[in-house]
Amino acid sequence: MIPAKIENVFIQVTTDYTGVITNIIAGKFAINEFILQELIYDSCPFLEGTLDALSLNETFLLEGMVIFSDEKEFNVDIELFKHEKSIDVLIHNRTNVYKIVDKLNQNRNDIFFIKREIAEKNIELEKLRKIADKANEEKSRFLAMMSHEIRNPLNAILGYAEMISSEKLNTKVAKYTKTLASAGKNLKVIVDDILDLSRIEAGKLALVSEQISIKKIVKNCKNDFKHLKTNEDVALVFSTSKKIPKFVLGDAVRIHQILANLISNAIKFTNKGSVKTSVKVLSETETEIKLIFEVADTGRGMSKEQGLKIFEEYQQNELNDNRIHGGAGLGLAIVNRLVKAMHGKVYVKSKLHVGTSFFVEISFAKTSKIVTSFKQKVIKEKEVNLKGKNILVADDDVLNQTIVAHILKEEEVTTTIIYNGLEAFAKLKAATFDVVLLDINMPNMTGEELMQQKQDFSSLNANTPFLAVTANTAKEDVERYLALGFSGVISKPYTKADFIQKIKTVFK
Amino acid sequence: MNLKNQLELMIAKKVLLVGNFGVGKTSLIRRFVLNEFSEDYISTIGVRVSKKVVTYKNEAIKLMIWDVAGTNADEKIPKAYFLGASAAMFVFDVSREETYVTLEDNLKMVKELSGLEKITIVGNKKDLLSKEELEVVVDKVSLQIDLLTSAKEDENVEDAFMELTAQTLK
Ligand SMILES: Nc1nc2c(ncn2[C@@H]2O[C@H](COP(=O)(O)OP(=O)(O)O)[C@@H](O)[C@H]2O)c(=O)[nH]1
Ligand SMILES: [Mg+2]
């Protein structure tokens, strides 16, 4: 590169006080613009008005001024010095420097405008987020409330259905009761599904990582569905690869839920043929094993578009699917979210009128410890008998009371039933009980308020176990109850067996 | 005397336009001097000086209009630019709050640098806001706004420069 000649990057001229050029002293920069005896203002408009204002015998610097020469723009710095009769004007051409500055400036401007736009968008997003958060909160509250409201009467429905079916019935009534019970159970599944989905959405679903047996989970599914199966024309087939390790780390309950949802979905849409569930090993490393679960049916199948939408909430393909097949169409949405939570993949392959296969791929950590052959000590359930036990039941709901009374009567328990928290409080001060079953939402005094005052009845019931009977079964609720001193929670709706089982546990 | 000499002998008044990037200083000058407008944002690098002869109270005045490259709040305008200035216009963008929230401080700074008592305050891009929105902006700005302009739609641009010219003669 040839360095620019120094004389080409500056010019020094002298003017009189009116701006007329009187001398060109040195340099050649923009030489054509500076003509002796002409005004310097034509080439340097910024000097007009400035020259008059200069102070005597002082250097004055003007940076970053624009000059035109040969159709080009130059950025220059000007040094001025005012003598008694003349003014020195030194102009440095700094085009190159300014080229870079130019670019930087442009970049800065671009960034500035982008920043501004982002800031505006962020404000907008923040607003939208707040609205969405609020709506979501409302939704969660609504769901929690509704599920609670639904669970209570549902408990009554299921309880009475169970009670009725244990009576001697004519076949017609037996059939009706069975239908009633099954409808109730379906409703329970839906309520649970809605709750599950909202919990997963709210990020409140915690997956556990414990030693689980995939084979056992599949076996359990098999038992469940055999038990439930109504359509003789559909064969249920289950298989697991021999290569699957005995134990992996995972969440058995949720894996079961994934499979159960896929299988019941397949059964719903298959009139004839089979629903095959299989588990195979997809790949394996030293620490991890990737399994692929497949649920294949010979049902009506679906189109590609349907396949894409199938994992969305409330999605059932045909308008009247809800009516025919029941359910809120949440099963697959739950599967989708559970699989995502496990960092897995779920996809579907289907042919219309041929069948559908759902695939779930999940990686499991292998258990590091080899489980030695020590037999897991099976704690043999010591048979507890409730006969003759003195149990206090506080519940404001007459339907619930009747069910509880019925169940406990069969166990030959001495039951004291009261209608609210205050009465319970009085009873607890007067007598000792073996177990106390407390509803949480009661008038006068809630179950929680009652527990907060437990020192007031500690003389007679210091060691009495308390069980909360409630539909509030969110994790934080249960934790709060346990912290208050409850020994456990019986969640509504319950089956008779659940109910008895829970009470028995406090005697172990 | 020929025209050129007449122009040369006319009194020249130096005025400055200052204000944040992109508020429309260059556009206002282009509109006023050339009656042109462009949507493109060509960042001004360095100080460009435009001339325009205006008639104010029957007197012809040559305005030397300094378009000072965009500055923002934390960048000082070199004091040298103000030497010999007779008036200054502070331009903000009515559609961008950040160009006027610190108006009071900015104005104080310009006054200190220039030694001018009064600075003409102009809110540009009025075409971007509705009448109601403009009222909100006017309320938000604690100082008296001299004119709301639109370089794009040629609204009040002439008046703004006339106000500026009036300032040069005070
Ligand atoms: N809508 C609208 N846009 C304008 C107006 N004045 C300037 N602009 C636009 O604003 C941007 C910046 O203008 P410019 O004059 O370069 O701003 P400067 O940095 O203050 O010189 C350009 O895209 C212009 O087209 C106006 O009155 N209305
Ligand atoms: Mg500009």
Domains and CATH numbers, chain A: 4-93 (3.30.450.20), 100-201 (1.10.287.130), 210-366 (3.30.565.10), 390-505 (3.40.50.2300)
Query: How many angstroms away from the CA of B145 is the closest CA of chain A?
Result: 24
Q: Does B33 touch chain A (CB under 8 A)?
A: no
- Check if B5 contacts A (Cβ < 8 Å): no
Residues 70-129 of B with CB under 8 A from A: 70, 78, 80-81, 83-86, 96, 98
Q: State the DSSP string of A142-168.
A: HHHHHHHHHHHHHHHHHHHHHHHHTS-
Closest ligand, as measured to the CA of B23: 1
Please give the pLDDT value at position A319: 45
Lowest mean pLDDT among A49-63, A143-157, A205-219, A328-342: A143-157
pLDDT tens readout for residues A90-101: 998 765 445 556
3-class secondary-structure state, position A27: strand
Q: Which residue of B has its CA nearest to A41?
A: B8
Judged by DSSP in three states, A416 sits in strand
Residues found in chain B? 170
Phi, psi of A43 (to 5 degrees): -90, -30
pLDDT at A119: 87
Q: Tell me the average pLDDT of chain A.
A: 83
Q: How far is the CA of B151 from the centre of ligand 1 (A)?
A: 7
- DSSP E strands, A285-384: 288-297, 345-351, 355-366
pLDDT of residue A323: 42
Break chain A down into helix, strand, coil percent, rounded to 5: 45, 25, 30
Give the closest residue (by CA) to ligand 1 atom 2: B125
**pLDDT tens track for A416-444:** 988 888 888 889 888 899 999 998 888 77
Tens of pLDDT, residue by residue over B93-147, are 999 998 999 899 889 989 999 999 999 999 999 999 999 999 999 999 989 999 9
Cα Rg of chain B (Å, integer): 16
Find the closest chain B residue to A111 by CA distance.
B21
Rounded to a whole number of angstroms, the distance from the CA of A103 to the nearest CA of chain B is 10
